[in-house]
Amino acid sequence: MRSSMTPTFGHPSGGIEFMLHRAAEIYPSRLAIDDRLNGIRRTYAQLRSRSIRLARGLQAIGVGKGDVVATAFRNEVMAIESIFACAMIGAVSAPLNPRLAAPEARQFINLQNVSAFIGRSVFANFIEGTEVKHAVFCGATEGCSADVIIHDFEAIQTGHSDSPFPPCASLADPYMIVMTGGTTGGSKGATWSHGGGLIDMLSIMSHWNIRPGQKALCSAPIYHGAGLGWACMPIIWQAGTVIFPGGTSFDPEIFLRTVRDDLVDCLFLVPAVIAPLHRKWDGVPIKTVSSIAMASAPVPKGLRVKVAEMFPSAEKLVCYGMTECCSISMQQPRDFLNFGESVGEPALVARVRIVDDEGRAVAPHTAGNVVTRTLGQSLYYNNDPRNTANTFKPCADDPEELDWVFTGDIGQMDLDGKITLLDRAKDVIITGGENVPSTEVESILMLRPEVLECAVIGLPDDRWGEMVCAVLVSSVEPVGRLQLSRELHDACRERLAGFKVPKRFVFVANLPRNAFGKILKRDLRLTAFDEVYDADHLRSLAASNDGGRKEVVLIAKNGGL
């Protein structure tokens, strides 16, 4: 006879909703979400109650296990309620970037075979001309011309019980389709499993030292994998409080004031916000923050020093991850300033190898392709077998014959397991047959405080194939940029091989970035710049005795490069 304690294998065991049930059962009255965009505060009891009733409402309109549900919100509590509601019924949520143009959103929705939509009514044009059957809107819907059955976000919950019901999903089931960053092409749909998401969150809690009941200010967009899976969900699992900012764009003054006034414990920063924060900082160290993690792009030494000045008491670490595999590496806080080029050792949930173009391991300290195998690894790109096969594949010399994620990054690993990223494979500049990692040049340029941001790219060159071009955002006024270019050119010549020294210095007001702060170098390579300083001209000025009084080299915008 089967014992009542004998597990029934294959029976749904539940997924990421586990963390919400746990927190609500232990700390029902504790504040879960402080949504300052909408002026809404939800306790854990309220968050669970509303998520359950929304789940039952979705079931009532026919949404069930395996259905893909697109969501379109900013950082606000309804986004979290929607994700948990979908998880409870085994549906697969697909958060959309709210900054997408409508055609981009429709293309992604169609690719993912979305059957239902939950979001702000201002994003109703996302679903026009798609196969979406049901739309659950927050806000007035008069402007919606899509041929869908429309429901109100609050009304769909009315009349339903908030009593928990048996799980519909298991740990191996998909729970979310996450848009990739799209720095080298259109966004793909990396599909996360419940179990993979949970185990990666546990790893984050360990590496970042997230403790029960802590507060986090979450300004990173939660439609993105790191904003949700790193900056938000681990806090919920520890029954802490997530604060969503009051605005829809990053405001460094409000950010710093919130951190101080609310005694925020944990921060996740993308490198793009560090310099603006430092410029608005009043110089008084903020000692209440206990943990700061940084990711999404390289964090050069100059930015690390700024973070250390602002938050001297916090444990600070740089992380490396991808939407396709979640956590790859985590730096130990003691290495934050001492190993400024490193992104740490493989995370608790990750194995990392550096391989050649044939997929065979290379020696330590040798540059190669970064590949990883993680417990949080995506199952696949949804409805995209070609890209899945190109990204998730075995290494040539792996006796286990596992599928590894080929990240597209170039890096190296030392004998202690410390990983240094050298470049994106598609961003390596090949000039005269020599490879130039753009990050190596950028690290030299960023040593100058007048350089606020920079990106080094390769541009077509008839002689060398590609020329090295430095694109700069600077605090120096136009009249001083010629001199700065000369000094940067000389600094690079002192520290780098001649073929790595930029042949052109370009000044721009800002760098193009995706919504998560990653620089879009492909856009820069297609840009016709206004203000360009050519290295040959700089050398001729240096050889003259006119003190740099010659006419600045300017190339008309419509003339390109």
**pLDDT over 70 at 250, yes or no:** yes
For residue 32, the model assigns a pLDDT of: 98
Taking only the tens place, the pLDDT of each residue in 447-486 is: 999 999 999 998 887 667 788 999 999 999 999 999 999 9
Handedness of CA 477, 479, 480, 485 (dihedral sign): positive
DSSP 224: S
Q: Find all residues with CB under 8 Å of 499, minimum gap 6, and list them.
A: 431, 432, 434, 436, 468
Lowest mean pLDDT across 9-13, 185-189, 393-397, 483-487: 9-13
- Higher-confidence residue: 184 or 523? 523
Lowest mean pLDDT across 171-175, 186-190, 278-282, 534-538: 534-538
**pLDDT over 60 at 7, yes or no:** no
For residue 128, the model assigns a pLDDT of: 92
For residue 515, the model assigns a pLDDT of: 62
For residue 385, the model assigns a pLDDT of: 96
**pLDDT over 50 at 191, yes or no:** yes
Average pLDDT, the chain: 89
- Higher-confidence residue: 537 or 393? 393
For residue 536, the model assigns a pLDDT of: 67
CA-based R_g, the chain, Å = 25
Structure confidence at residue 281 as a pLDDT band (50, 70, 90): very high
Lowest mean pLDDT across 3-17, 396-410, 545-559: 545-559
**Diameter of the chain measured on Cα atoms:** 99
Q: Find all residues with CB under 8 Å of 545, minimum gap 6, and list them.
A: none
**pLDDT over 80 at 494, yes or no:** yes
**pLDDT over 90 at 152, yes or no:** yes
* CA–CA gap between residue 30 and residue 43 (Å, rounded): 5
Element (H, E) at 405: strand 404-413
Here the tokens at position 266 are: 């944990």
Label residue 351 exposed, middle or buried (CB < 10 Å: 0-12, 13-18, 19+).
middle
* CA–CA gap between residue 446 and residue 368 (Å, rounded): 25
* CA–CA gap between residue 322 and residue 404 (Å, rounded): 13
For residue 525, the model assigns a pLDDT of: 85
| Nearest Cα to Cα of residue 533 among 546, 516, 548 | 548
Structure confidence at residue 352 as a pLDDT band (50, 70, 90): very high
For residue 541, the model assigns a pLDDT of: 52
Region 194-212: mean pLDDT is 97
For residue 398, the model assigns a pLDDT of: 92
β-sheet bridge partners, residue 507? 472, 531
> How many Cα atoms are found within 13 Å in the side-chain-facing hemisphere of 186?
13
CB neighbours of residue 520 within 10 Å: 17
Q: What SS3 state is found at 451?
A: strand
Structure confidence at residue 547 as a pLDDT band (50, 70, 90): very low
Region 412-438: mean pLDDT is 84
- Higher-confidence residue: 271 or 391? 391
Q: Could you write out the DSSP letters of every residue in 497-523?
A: -GGGS-SEEEE-S---B-TTS-B-HHH
Region 27-45: mean pLDDT is 98
Region 65-92: mean pLDDT is 98
Q: What separation in angstroms does the CA of 53 have from each of 157, 204, 246, 397?
A: 5, 30, 26, 51
For residue 184, the model assigns a pLDDT of: 46
**pLDDT over 70 at 505, yes or no:** yes
β-sheet bridge partners, residue 104? none
CB neighbours of residue 386 within 10 Å: 8
Label residue 142 exposed, middle or buried (CB < 10 Å: 0-12, 13-18, 19+).
exposed
Provide the phi-psi class of 515: left if phi over 0, else alpha when psi is between -120 and 50, else beta. alpha
Here the tokens at position 298 are: 């390289």
Q: What SS3 state is found at 373?
A: strand
**pLDDT over 60 at 1, yes or no:** no
| Nearest Cα to Cα of residue 432 among 468, 471, 470 | 468
Q: Whole-prediction pTM value?
A: 0.82
Region 198-217: mean pLDDT is 97
Give exposure, 11-43, as e/b (b: 16+ Cβ within 10 Å): eebbbbbbbbbbbbeebbebbbbbbbeeeeebb
For residue 238, the model assigns a pLDDT of: 98
**pLDDT over 60 at 253, yes or no:** yes
* CA–CA gap between residue 130 and residue 126 (Å, rounded): 8
**pLDDT over 60 at 108, yes or no:** yes
Lowest mean pLDDT across 115-119, 133-137, 204-208, 432-436: 432-436
* CA–CA gap between residue 364 and residue 374 (Å, rounded): 21
* CA–CA gap between residue 513 and residue 86 (Å, rounded): 31
Structure confidence at residue 8 as a pLDDT band (50, 70, 90): very low
* CA–CA gap between residue 184 and residue 194 (Å, rounded): 28
**pLDDT over 80 at 141, yes or no:** no
For residue 104, the model assigns a pLDDT of: 83
Structure confidence at residue 396 as a pLDDT band (50, 70, 90): very high
* CA–CA gap between residue 9 and residue 120 (Å, rounded): 40
E runs forming strands in 198-330? 215-217, 241-244, 266-269, 291-294, 315-322, 326-330
For residue 537, the model assigns a pLDDT of: 64
Supply φ then ψ for residue 41, to 5 degrees. Answer: -125, 130
In terms of residues, how long is the chain? Answer: 561
